[in-house]
Amino acid sequence: MKRIIVLTAALLLFYSHLSAQYSQVRFGMEASPSFSWLTTNDNKINRSGTNLGLKLRLLGEFNFQENYAITTGLGFHFNAGGQLQHDNSGAYWVNSDLGLPNIDTLPQGVNLRYNLQYLEIPIGLKMRTREFGYLRYYLQPMLTLGINTSAEGDIEGRGIGNDAENIDIGPDVGALNLAWGIGAGIEYSLSENTALVGGLAFQLGFTDMNKDDGTFIDENTGQRREEDSNTQNNSLTITIGVLF
């Protein structure tokens, strides 16, 4: 919590410094529902569920030309992640206490659900059209740094029972998540300095969010092998915010 307060204060000081240099600086807030899912490069690990989450952010836009701005912010992405089904039996989340004392190898077809929370720092370029009545349209490519602040997981599978829920899987999830994305939408002017924002934003992770310390049993050879798949966290966000 102390680190979050320090980061927030530093960002506000940064905004204040830029405000003195730019004549067109806008701040805002965003409360946006998101749909997150996981993908991997392993055809034996399949997407089997989506998470409904929420993004809360403070926003800053620093215009360097009339219709172009550098954008950044600070916020939280709650309940990111999703569910993966593992076709191979294996030992997954090996650094975490799963609360399954009689099971050291999870069965074939096991579903692992990730419920993750990230502190996010995006940076992007916002390109806007001229105003049509009260409306402007925008396109916004961006990069996002996500810092994991919470990670819980659920396990569903043959013989698992109902107790394998809300497991602390922080030791098996990477601390950082880097993603690129693009957003598009509209700004509706309420006054000279205030606008409502609505749109869609797609975000695709490009770093492995797992530590991959587990193993799986090869169904062809019966041998235990290292689990080294690459897993990305992706999301689609319905952007809802206000700029002033």
Burial class (CB in 10 A: 0-12, 13-18, 19+), 52: exposed
Concatenated DSSP letters for 134-202?
Answer: TEEEEEEEEEEEEEEEEEEEEEE-TTT-S---SEE-GGGB-SEEEEEEEEEEEEEESSSS-EEEEEEEE
Give me the mean pLDDT over the 140-153 stretch. Answer: 98
**Under a CB-based contact definition with an 8 Å cutoff, are residues 203 and 179 in contact?**
yes
The structure's pTM equals 0.87
At residue 10, φ and ψ (nearest 5 deg) are: -65, -40
Q: What is the pLDDT of residues 151-171, one digit of tens each?
A: 999 999 988 877 789 999 999
Least confident of 19-23, 69-73, 76-80, 151-155: 19-23
Q: What is the pLDDT of residues 78-119, one digit of tens each?
A: 999 999 999 999 999 999 999 888 788 999 999 999 999 999
User: How confident is the prediction for the chain on average, in pLDDT?
Assistant: 91
- Determine the pLDDT at residue 10: 56
* Cα 224–Cα 229–Cα 231 angle in degrees, nearest 5: 145
> If pLDDT is split at 50, 70 and 90, which confidence band does 196 have?
very high
At residue 34, φ and ψ (nearest 5 deg) are: -135, 155
Q: Where do the domains of the chain lie?
A: 2-243
CATH second-level architecture of 2-243? Answer: Beta Barrel (2.40)
Closest CA to 70 of 120, 122, 10: 122
**Under a CB-based contact definition with an 8 Å cutoff, are residues 57 and 12 in contact?**
no
Q: How far is CA 161 from CA 95, 99, 117, 165, 218, in A?
A: 21, 11, 26, 10, 25
Burial class (CB in 10 A: 0-12, 13-18, 19+), 170: middle
- List b or e across 93-102, with b for residues whose CB sees 16 or more CB atoms inside 10 angstroms: bbebebeeee
**Under a CB-based contact definition with an 8 Å cutoff, are residues 147 and 176 in contact?**
yes
> If pLDDT is split at 50, 70 and 90, which confidence band does 14 have?
low
Rounded Cα–Cα distance for residues 23 and 229 (Å): 48
Starting at the edge strand that comes first in sequence, how are the strands of the sheet with 90-91 ordered? 90-91, 215-217, 224-226
User: What residues are paired with 179 via a beta bridge?
Assistant: 144, 205
**How far from chain centre, in Å, is Cα 6?**
21
* Confidence check: pLDDT of 18 > 50: no
- Determine the pLDDT at residue 3: 54
